[in-house]
Amino acid sequence: MTSDVNEGRRPVPTILQGQKALVTGANSGIGKATAIGLGRAGADVVVNYVFGKEAAEEVVEEIKSFGVRAYAHEADVSQEDQVVPMVARMVEEFGTIDIMVANAGLQRDAAITEMSVAQWQKVLDVNLTGQFLCAREAAKEFLRRGVVPEVSRSAGKIICMSSVHQIIPWTGHVNYAASKGGVLMLMQTMAQELAPKGIRVNAVAPGAIRTPINRSAWDTPEAEADLLRLVPYRRVGDPEDIANAVTVLASDLMDYVVGTTLFVDGGMTLFPGFATGG
């Protein structure tokens, strides 16, 4: 069970009122929390999924309860002929796109000597090519439309879901770490290229977040204790921790933030192994 870190707190201000967001891989884990978080902050949201229509429709219903629009769209983000029509439909239905959250991702773990080309390629296709395709299609629409000052100071926002493994090597996950290292350069290069056109590109890099992708790392007390040795803040993150970061990063509160990775990791990137002097 995940807890909602927003529970019992003051409502999130509608800092994304009138904006249109698309979140990929939005029927599970971080993507689901993010789609709901953006909706709660006032955005209309497209909930992308590749399988699990029912779960996607549940997310849509929750988002609609905030009084904004939402619909689910099935597409494999690694396939150009599915991403292009996904964004085209959004422009048709919502009029445009203001926020692209390229979140969809997966793992296919193996030791380097055991890893098949299929395992390597699948992870690169979804985690890296998928982000490229989604960002490219969003950027085209941002450039076509330009800045609409009543909606946002920028012409559009792209948020890449990265990982602490964009900088931390990870034995047994060479495909995943390579894909996230690639996301860092994809994000920074797009940011450099698109900032002069008023588009903000940034990344959010989660640490250990309680989702299905890493269930074995937290679903027993022993596994969780082991994991927490790597987290100075001594708690496993919730999907809402990431959703909150994405929501603020996508808003004009962060309008001067360009080409940055926001680590949301309880301090995992502080090299906790050196906390006692190394």
Interface with ligand NAD by CB under 6 A: which residues?
Answer: 24-25, 27-31, 48-50, 76-78, 103-106, 126, 130, 161, 163, 206, 208-209, 211-214
Q: Is 71 a catalytic residue?
A: no
The smaller minimum CB distance to ligand NAD, of residues 146 and 185, is found at 185
From the CB of 103, what's the least distance to ligand NAD, in Å?
5
The smaller minimum CB distance to ligand NAD, of residues 12 and 133, is found at 133
Helix or strand (DSSP H, E) at 30: helix 29-40
The smaller minimum CB distance to ligand NAD, of residues 212 and 273, is found at 212
The smaller minimum CB distance to ligand NAD, of residues 14 and 119, is found at 119
The smaller minimum CB distance to ligand NAD, of residues 163 and 247, is found at 163
First to last CA, the chain: 35
Cα gap 45→52, rounded to integer Å: 17
Token pair 């929390």 is found at 33
Looking at 49, 71, 176, 256, which residue is catalytic?
176
Which of 199, 210, 204 is closest to 258 using CA atoms?
Answer: 199
Characterize the bridge pairing of strands 99-102 and 156-161: parallel
Cα gap 234→51, rounded to integer Å: 33
Token pair 């860092």 is found at 184
From the CB of 10, what's the least distance to ligand NAD, in Å?
26
From the CB of 124, what's the least distance to ligand NAD, in Å?
12
From the CB of 54, what's the least distance to ligand NAD, in Å?
13
DSSP letter at 237 equals B
From the CB of 78, what's the least distance to ligand NAD, in Å?
5
DSSP letter at 238 equals P
Residue 159 pairs in a beta bridge with 101, 202
From the CB of 86, what's the least distance to ligand NAD, in Å?
10
Specify the 3-state DSSP secondary structure of 51: coil
Please report the beta strands in the chain, taking only residues with DSSP state E, as ranges in sequence order.
20-23, 44-49, 70-74, 99-102, 156-161, 199-206, 261-264
Phi, psi of 276 (to 5 degrees): -105, 25
The smaller minimum CB distance to ligand NAD, of residues 53 and 144, is found at 53
Cα gap 31→10, rounded to integer Å: 22
Q: Which residues are catalytic?
A: 176
